[in-house]
Structure 1
Amino acid sequence: MPSSHKLARNLTSLDIFCLATGAMISSGIFVLPGIAYARTGPSVIISYLLAGVMVAIGMYNTLELATAMPKAGGDYFFVSRTLGPVVGSIAGILNWFSLSLKSAFALTGLAAMIQLYLGWNMHLVGLVLGAVFIILNLAGSKHVGNFQIVLVAVLLLIMGYYIYHGSYHFSLKPFLDFAPYGAHRILATAGFVFVAYGGLLKIPSVAEEVRDPRRDLPRGMIGALLTVVALYVTMVAIAIATLPPAKLASSLTPIQESASTFLGKPGIFAIGLAATLAFVTTANAGIMASSRYLYALSTDNYLPPFFSRLNARTGVPVGAVIVSGIFITAVQHLNREILVTAASLVLIFSFLLSCVCVLV
């Protein structure tokens, strides 16, 4: 039988803000802008803004449900209670799978950064990092939250540093031919960069561990989305203003290359550090959030009791954390396009299910 212990309510609105911010800021800003720019030109800033609006709709739907039913598993719990256990259990497994793949992609990026700077074997680094994040999550949600607060604070400072200095080199000239490929490309690219905000919609999976879900969840998630949308749009605009169009369109490190034009080597290092921290925060938040799906499925008897047994001292679902962490560590070596595409498809599917639940 599962343990009778309940998940510890340790998370505040600040913890939620940092978990949500960390779950969003990753390859969506450090890798995707160049690829997205190639699709739609300078109007990519509108695509990022529209994607933020689309995520806001999903966020409000999710918050409506999460504050009324603050249970572990987030949208799995809502869907299973609204659309039935069969649809709910399928959605729960798919959401766990999607979030795990997104976290694996972040772990891959982090291992690649370490290999680039230190020359260490990427696969071994990935295994070690996976073990470290598993141990951290086993220590308890409050330790994860505190770790996330420190990392996100440093990450936001570096991004603010880039924006501050980049603003002195901003020019409207690169924006004169604003939508060279037409308005339809702006909308299509908004769907492409939607994944840049995707981590936000999975934060309600930890709702059962929030001290005051009705107050702390909305404050943390809304604040995180507004912050990240502002950062994304501003940083992409600076990259457009400081890089030649051809170079930006072909770059997989657009923010780093942009920083090098007005900050030199210190800028390259600073943005490299920010990207590394972003991968850390995404992987860390991903292991925590994904494990709660397995926990919720187990408490509803769709998975063995092993997944819902809680540590008496920390209130952590040990089995769920270990299995999620091992899976994320194992699949990080899959093709990166497969990881991103699969994660995005399931993310949009779960987004639609949450909207249906509100209507029902």
Structure 2
Amino acid sequence: MSDAEFSLIDEKIGLFGGTLLIVGNVIAMTAFLLPAHLIADDGLGPEVAVAMLLVILPVTFSILSTLQIGGAMPAAGGSYVYGSRLIGPFFGFLLPWLVIPSIWLGQLYLAFGFAEFMQFFPTFDWIPMWALMYAVMIPFIALNILGIRLVTQVQIVLVSIIIGGMLLFIVPGTFEIDTANYSGMFESGTGAFFVALVSLSIAMHGFNLATDLGEELEDPVTNIPRVLGLSAIISISLMTALVVVAVGVVPLDFYVENRDAGVAYAAFEFLPTAGAYLVATAAVVGAFTSLNTLYTAYSRQLMRAARDEAIPLFFAKLHPEYQTPYRAILLLAVPALIMVPPISSTTPVLMASVLAMTSLIGAIISSVALWNLPKRFERRYEYSIYKLPLPVLKFVAVASALVATVFLAGVSLELGWVLGIILGWMVLAYPVYKYRVRSLRAKKGVDLEKRMKSLHDYEEERAEAGSRAGRENESDSGREVETDAED
């Protein structure tokens, strides 16, 4: 496909802006919202804190995988590109097939959390959930259409509020922990524990934003690893500490009685009233930051798939003034707006679990892509600025796929019917994909499968630039070794 058939995004953000976008995307609403609901709705106990700690394991593998593939092949909508180029065209098609309905649900989950914490404030407790959900979704749809720079500027302010509110809860709360609140582990059963493990893990699957931004990052080959490393340290530390402290500062029965906005009510136990309201404000802002970047990240996947025509080219169109994939944004946003009224009465644990299952399936696909990278794109792997040694790369790929599979098997003990629906949706993707291939060949003479196996010209140039930088780094290191030997 000629690059002239679509426009490239020419607005850029730097290391600082990219890091804050990802921190806001990862932290989200989950650590504030789910612990109380898991305890009250699902009968879980202090193992919620253990689940949050264990989530670090798949996240570490995910970050290492994203660092390696993103450093070797930076591209907008990276997850789509890696599935199609490193595994096969159908797997590239499968990712947007899964993304579109899961992101409809993702928006509703975040908006639900926003509405719940807004009702914690007496001024807003009379407003219906559905009205509050609309109040947060619509402005951020408009914001993302207006452009990445504006998104980033808003994110700087919002992430500062979140970090401040989290630290306000974590630091004094650490001194109020009663270790007796961690007793009675794993009395609720294996299936319920895996529900906690999987639902909490959605908070940690926001790091792919670094590769989905691709062409919008300044010097993406260099900045993708830096952005991922910085955002991982900040996000994982804060979220894990928040959940551990939330479980330790009050008895479990407290969350049964204070399920909605439970963390904010727990803050009343050791903070002054103003402090508790600041914690609730941080939770509300967590919905802002994730909605803000949800449209940013996944609209780029759809835009990139549309450039290949895996989905209609119509969705690759950029806004002439704001340089944003506004049609892809609207595809993600409008159906979710229609679904607000019925969803406003459901439980966030179920929504989080569905989202996490699709993320885990994506993690398995990414693992296969990572395994294939040295074989399919040998030079880009060899000279990538960030390079995992081959044995480590294979270990990360296998371990990541294995952990995701175990998580999926565990959660199926409680929510097997949900996993069955998702797997059925994936099976349905194959005949739709074959129809798309035949249709494009008949109507336009386009070989979609061939197109989805190669990079576009601008991506080739960017990857080649990264290879040159990697070769130069290796040459410099070699010269340093020689100099040391001579000395």
Both proteins in one fold, TM over 0.5:
yes
Q: Mapping of 1:12-51 within 5 angstroms?
A: 12-36=14-38, 41-51=45-55
| Contact 2:24–2:286 (Cα < 8 Å) also in 1 | yes
Q: Name the residue aligned to 1:205.
A: 212
Aligned to 1:221: 228
Counterpart among 258, 261, 268 of residue 253 in structure 1: 261
- Which residue of the partner structure matches residue 91 of structure 1? 95
Q: Which residue of 1 aligns with 2:80?
A: 76
2:458 corresponds to = none
Cα–Cα, structure 1 residues 342 and 173, in superposed 2: closer, same or farther, change >3 Å? closer
Is 2:238 aligned against 1:231?
yes
Alignment counterpart, residue 101 of structure 1, candidates 74, 82, 105:
105
Counterparts of 2:99 and 2:62 in 1: how far apart (Å)? 15
Q: 1:238 to 1:113 in 2, by over 3 A?
A: closer
- 1:78 deviates by 0.4
> In the superposition, relative to structure 1, how do residues 178 and 213 fare at CA in structure 2: closer, same or farther (>3 Å)?
farther
Unaligned runs of 5+ in 2: 373-487
Residues 1:93 and 1:182: Cα distance change in structure 2 (over 3 Å): closer
How much has 1:230 moved relative to structure 2?
1.6
1:325-356 Cα distance to aligned partner (Å, 9 max, x none) = 22332334443455333322211111110001
Residue 318 of structure 2 corresponds to 310
Percent identity over paired residues: 22
Query: Is 1:344 aligned to 2:350, yes or no?
Result: no
Question: What is the 5 A alignment of 1:126-145?
Answer: 126-145=133-152
Tell me, in whole angstroms, the C-alpha distance in 1 between the residues paired with 2:93 and 2:63: 21
How many Å apart are 1:154 and its aligned residue? 1.1
Aligned residue for 1:323? 331
Alignment partner for residue 270 of structure 1, among 265, 268, 278?
A: 278
TM-score (norm 2): 0.67
**CA deviation string 1:278-325 (max 9, x = no partner):** 111111111111211221111001222321122344321221122222
The reply to whether residue 355 of structure 1 matches residue 351 of structure 2 is no
CA–CA separation in structure 2 for the residues paired with 1:31 and 1:244? 17
Task: Go from structure 1 to structure 2 and tell me whether the alpha carbon gap of 1:96 and 1:71 turns closer, same or farther (over 3 Å shift).
Answer: farther
Distance across 1 between alignment mates of 2:129 and 2:198: 31
Number of equivalenced pairs: 359
Tell me if structure 1 keeps the 8 A contact 2:48–2:193.
Answer: no
| Cα distance, 1:141 vs structure 2 | 0.7
SS at match of 1:199: coil
Report the TM-score when normalising by structure 1: 0.89
Q: Cα distance 1:61–1:292, how it changes in 2: closer, same or farther (>3 A)?
A: same
Structure 2 counterpart SS, 1:101: helix
Q: Which has the higher contact order (CA 8 A, sep 6+)?
A: 1
CA distance in structure 2 between the partners assigned to 1:229 and 1:333 by the alignment: 33
1:164 equivalent in alignment to 2:171: yes
RMSD: 2.7
Local SS of the residue matching 1:147: helix
Task: Specify which of 282, 295, 306 is matched with residue 290 of structure 2.
Answer: 282
